[in-house]
Amino acid sequence: MFIAEKRLDVEQVEICIADGDHRKADFLAKNPLGQVPVLELDSGICISESMAICRYLEEEFPTPNLFGRDPEERAVIHMWSRRAEATLFVPAVDYGHHSHPLFRGQFSQIPSYAYLCRDSIEKSYSLLDSRLGSVGFLGGDTFSIADLIAFCGLELARLWQVAFAPSLTSLALWHRRISERPSASMARYS
Ligand SMILES: N[C@@H](CCC(=O)N[C@@H](CS)C(=O)NCC(=O)O)C(=O)O
């Protein structure tokens, strides 16, 4: 989604996790953690960790700006990015891992932890709704990495059937607006 927002033409190589491509020696040489995504530079350096990749691309290709244009804007965007990640994105990942039959063989599922994750997601929806009652985007007046993280977290939560309540009208309007961005097709599950 970040690459699409930047309108960059980046060669993509698919790694099939179901076939275990991410555990093969050639991929582990690029990322010893055996996880996607990895950005392989022309220099041969491999960058993994999504936020490290996004920050690198932001510096190399500053327009459109997605991390903030001055210290104040950068701080506000960082604050909302961290909130979106900690209260929505990570709990959405963990909720799936600890509740969905798909992951039963892979994780020692802890139902009480899944419950806490669900609670965090629902509280996050309210937090975001109240923020979006006074601004168009989480970081202020333009789309930023904070919206991207929140949107991806929300889409993942929706995949696990943890939808937001229709009464959260500011969140619903924001969600519709972000869904209409061409880049959103990269993050939507439904
Ligand atoms: N902290 C990493 C997490 C990456 C991650 O969890 N990747 C998942 C797919 S979205 C993966 O490769 N899972 C395979 C595995 O962990 O075996 C990041 O932000 O990029």
pTM higher than 0.85 for the full model?
A: yes
Give the C-alpha separation, 91 to 139, whole Å: 21
Residue 187 confidence (pLDDT): 86
**Sorting pLDDT into bands at 50, 70 and 90, what band is 186?**
confident
Q: What is the Å distance from ligand 1's center to 36 Cα? A: 5
Q: Which two tokens stand for residue 174?
A: 């924001």
* pLDDT surpasses 70 at 2: yes
Looking from the CA of residue 49, the nearest atom of ligand 1 is: 20
| Mean pLDDT of all residues in 130-134 | 97
Residue 62 confidence (pLDDT): 97
Residue 68 confidence (pLDDT): 98
Residue with CA closest to ligand 1 atom 9: 36
* pLDDT surpasses 90 at 18: no
Q: What is the Å distance from ligand 1's center to 21 Cα? A: 13
Q: Answer for the pair 79, 128: CB distance below 8 angstroms, yes or no.
A: no
Q: What is the Å distance from ligand 1's center to 71 Cα? A: 30
Give the C-alpha separation, 88 to 86, whole Å: 6
Mutating to test ligand 1, I would choose from 3, 15, 16, 36 the residue with most ligand atoms within 8 A of its C-beta, which is 36
Amino acid at 161: Q
**Sorting pLDDT into bands at 50, 70 and 90, what band is 103?**
very high
Is 90 a pocket residue for ligand 1 (Cβ < 6 Å)? no
Give the C-alpha separation, 177 to 136, whole Å: 10
**Sorting pLDDT into bands at 50, 70 and 90, what band is 70?**
very high
Residue 113 confidence (pLDDT): 98
* pLDDT surpasses 70 at 65: yes
Amino acid at 135: V
* pLDDT surpasses 70 at 190: no
Q: Answer for the pair 166, 129: CB distance below 8 angstroms, yes or no.
A: no
Q: What is the Å distance from ligand 1's center to 57 Cα? A: 19
Average pLDDT, the chain: 96
* pLDDT surpasses 90 at 1: yes
| Mean pLDDT of all residues in 45-49 | 98
Q: What is the Å distance from ligand 1's center to 135 Cα? A: 32
Is 126 a pocket residue for ligand 1 (Cβ < 6 Å)? no
| Mean pLDDT of all residues in 126-141 | 97
